[in-house]
Amino acid sequence: MTTPAPWWRDAVVYEVYVRSFASTGDTGMGDLRGVAERLPYLVDLGVDAVWLTPFYPSPQHDNGYDVADYRDVDSRFGSLADFDTLLARAHGLGLRVLVDLVPNHTSSDHPWFREALAAGPGSPERARYLFRDKPNNWLSVFGGSAWQRTDDGQYYLHLFDRSQPDLDWTDDDVHTLFDEVLRFWLDRGVDGFRVDVAHGLRKAAGLPDAADPVAAQSGLVTGPMWDQPEVHDIYRRWHRILGEYDGDRMAVAEAWAATPARTMAYCRHDELSQSFNFHWLEAPWSVAAFREVVRETLVEVARVDASPTWVLSNHDVVRHVTRYGGGARGLARGSAATLTMLALPGSAYLYQGEELGLEQVDVPPADRQDPEFHNGRGPGRDGCRVPLPWSGHESPFGNGTGRPWLPQPPEWATLTVEAQRNDPSSTWSFYRRALAARRGLPQATEVTLVDLGPDVFAFRRGQVLVVLNGGDDPLPIPAGEVLISSAPIENDTLPANAGVWLAAPAS
Ligand code: NOJ
């Protein structure tokens, strides 16, 4: 008898950005009860799991990625009892739940950091963080030096905001804390974790200067602060902890590593379960780029016998409809790319609001909150974090009763869930159909790239032929039963910027 594959190997996981998903109050911010209430919506849409962004006690300098207590719920978002209710409800509906784990840094409000400041240089309390007498040349991802001077003249490292001091993962206390945090949430019943900054936990010994500190500040890079070999030992340890529990508990790495091979190293058989494929997300709208990323990903994933992941949007990047040019063309391309990724073997990670075809919002500078913006590192990420429009004709569009923490554009009146749900031509209906069709895909995970010309990305998975028309002209396609398409097909012709799945006999 063969053991069934773990649920996560081909799951569709929906990222819930808790602050912006659904509010049940007047704070303008989402909360856990809001998520619990809307779980049937996610079941109806057709996803398998939700990933909840951090809801732990936090001063919210980086919207919860600055954790002051890893084992509780911030009162802004609810209580542990609300979390338990949400989890039970999700499980009752057949949904899995992943929570966010933020192990690279704590909040400067975490008791450990306060103790470290109070205890002074050379203390065991300071050894949990990276205090030094002299800074090196590293830069913070959010801008400026990665070092903050303290009152006693030492500096501490913060690869992100200065309210996010980096932990020192050579310290035993740090390992023990996170062993306990993992067990705390696993004991409560979570199905897994999304591991924040998974490539950053170990720094090169001696904290040497970066050869190119600006290049090391962002993107898919290596450097003395990223993707160090020792980081993998941490995941081997966590692999053993996850294995102590039944039910295929898992973890997915947020590792912005330089190449698909390095990204996949995080999901070797004794490490984490999956790793986000940011190479797919970073690819421009280009048939050649899509083909190369898919080819390379599948080669590298096979080497470690892991399952690939596909992701186009999340709370840190410009929404993909906007990246692909925005407007009707951006939306068409977004749907085509989504349909293409949903046909690939492995897991797909969706970001809330993409099922509504939302674009990046140009949040007025006075309303922006992201530390990245306030530190002068470009427009910041607020534009993809605006609270979701559920219903009605004006803000807050059924998302609680308060003024949303980021302003919603009035044009969203036509994009609410309510407006799209009963419209078969809406983006929401397309996503729902695509997720349903995905359940009927062949079991075969073998993908064969098919050459249909330079403007076409095509592959075969079992009996299904997937075609994406990346050119500017309509494309004649092989005759075959159309399983689903991102735009109407007439006379066996696929419009530009559209994708289709065809039931085609093997050639
Ligand atoms: C990645 C998270 O997705 C992002 O939102 C956060 O700012 C950084 N890690 C720092 O935790």
For residue 128, the 8-state DSSP code is G
Q: Which helix (H) or strand (E) holds 33?
A: helix 32-37
Ligand 1 atom having least distance to the Cα of 102: 11
Whole-number Å distance, alpha carbon 256 to ligand 1 midpoint, is: 11
Whether the upstream peptide bond of residue 396 has omega within 30° of 0, thus cis, is: yes
CATH class of 111-157: alpha beta
For residue 132, the 8-state DSSP code is E
Give per-residue pLDDT as tens, 321-380: 999 999 999 999 999 999 999 999 999 999 999 999 999 999 999 999 999 999 999 999
Whole-number Å distance, alpha carbon 196 to ligand 1 midpoint, is: 6
CATH code for the domain defined by 7-106+172-438: 3.20.20.80
Q: Of these residues, 180, 244, 394, 423, which one is catalytic? A: 244
pLDDT value, residue 219: 67
Atom 11 (ligand 1) nearest CA: 65
pLDDT value, residue 480: 86
Whole-number Å distance, alpha carbon 296 to ligand 1 midpoint, is: 26
| Mean pLDDT, the chain, integer | 96
CATH code for the domain defined by 448-503: 2.60.40.1180
Atom 5 (ligand 1) nearest CA: 316
Q: Which helix (H) or strand (E) holds 275?
A: strand 274-275
Q: Do domains 7-106+172-438 and 111-157 have the same CATH topology?
A: no
If we measure between CA atoms, which residue out of 204, 197, 235 comes closest to residue 218?
197
Give per-residue pLDDT as tens, 389-402: 999 999 999 999 99
pLDDT value, residue 65: 98
**Angle CA 166–102–337, to nearest 5:** 120
Query: CA–CA distance from 333 to each of 140, 278, 363, 466 (Å)?
Result: 34, 18, 24, 15
User: Are the CB atoms for 209 and 147 separated by under 8 Å?
Assistant: no
The CA distance from 353 to 397, in Å, is 13
Within 13 Å of residue 495, how many CA atoms lie on the same side as its CB? 13
Whole-number Å distance, alpha carbon 197 to ligand 1 midpoint, is: 7
Question: Does residue 187 carry a catalytic annotation?
Answer: no
Question: Does residue 166 carry a catalytic annotation?
Answer: no
Indicate the pTM of the whole model. 0.98
Give per-residue pLDDT as tens, 145-159: 999 999 999 999 999
Beta-carbon contacts of residue 216 (< 8 Å; ≥ 6 apart): 138, 139, 210, 222, 223, 224, 225, 226
Beta-carbon contacts of residue 103 (< 8 Å; ≥ 6 apart): 167, 169, 178, 195, 196, 197, 201, 234
Sort strands 464-469 and 498-503 into parallel, antiparallel or unpaired.
Answer: antiparallel
Burial of residue 160 (CB within 10 Å: 0-12, 13-18, 19+) is buried
Q: Of these residues, 196, 300, 355, 382, which one is catalytic? A: 196
Q: For the chain, what are the domain ranges?
A: 7-106+172-438, 111-157, 448-503
Give per-residue pLDDT as tens, 63-114: 999 999 999 999 999 999 999 999 999 999 999 999 999 999 999 999 999 9
Ligand 1 atom having least distance to the Cα of 65: 11
